[in-house]
Amino acid sequence: MIVVDSSVWIGDLRDEDTPAVMKLRALDPMRANLVVPDLVLLEVLRGARDEAVAGRIERHLCKFDIVDLGGRMLAVAAARYYRHLRGLGITIRSSIHVLIGTFCIQHDAVLLHHDRGDFLPMQRHLGLRCL
């Protein structure tokens, strides 16, 4: 399973040629088992300029499996990871990123992202696998 972060979907929608977007475009969506977390769907849709654009984006992203993040167990694990990293002197800026990273770790999923900093410490210290 490959979890695709909002940073990649937004880059794809903007027709950017970042390494992460190029990896997304190279994947065969039917074979790669791409999933979109519900909070990623929120992040991408909130930036749409109007309802028509939001509808097109939603239809596009909902072609993939939308997975629910959260719940008690994931929240507790994410908070534990956050505290562990904070104990190492690393502060993750986004709670959503902690949830996404924790989901990936716990479901043995690979994360495709184009983030400047939050996921790297999770990769280095918690075993998050990134594409």
- Mean pLDDT, residues 80-100 taken together: 95
Q: Please report how many Cα atoms fall inside a 13 Å half-sphere around the Cα of residue 1, on the Cβ side.
A: 16
Share above pLDDT 70 across residues of the chain, in percent, rounded to a whole number: 97
DSSP character at residue 50: S
pLDDT at 87 over 80: yes
User: Which residues are paired to 32 by β-bridges?
Assistant: none
Claim: this prediction has a pTM higher than 0.85: yes
Residue 26's domain comprises 2-130
Question: For the sheet containing 65-67, what is the strand order?
Answer: 65-67, 34-37, 2-4, 110-112, 129-130
Residue-averaged pLDDT of the chain: 92
Q: Among candidates 102, 111, 107, which has minimal Cα distance to 129?
A: 111
Angular region, 65: left φ>0, alpha ψ -120 to 50, beta rest: beta
DSSP character at residue 63: T
* Lowest mean pLDDT across 6-10, 58-62, 93-97, 114-118: 114-118
Q: How confident is the model at residue 31 (pLDDT cuts 50, 70, 90)?
A: low
CATH code, 37:
3.40.50.1010
User: In whole angstroms, how far apart are CA 91 and each of 5, 111, 125, 131?
Assistant: 19, 20, 13, 23
pLDDT at 15: 92
Share above pLDDT 90 across residues of the chain, in percent, rounded to a whole number: 82
Helix, strand, coil % (nearest 5) of the chain? 55, 10, 30
Number of domains in the chain: 1
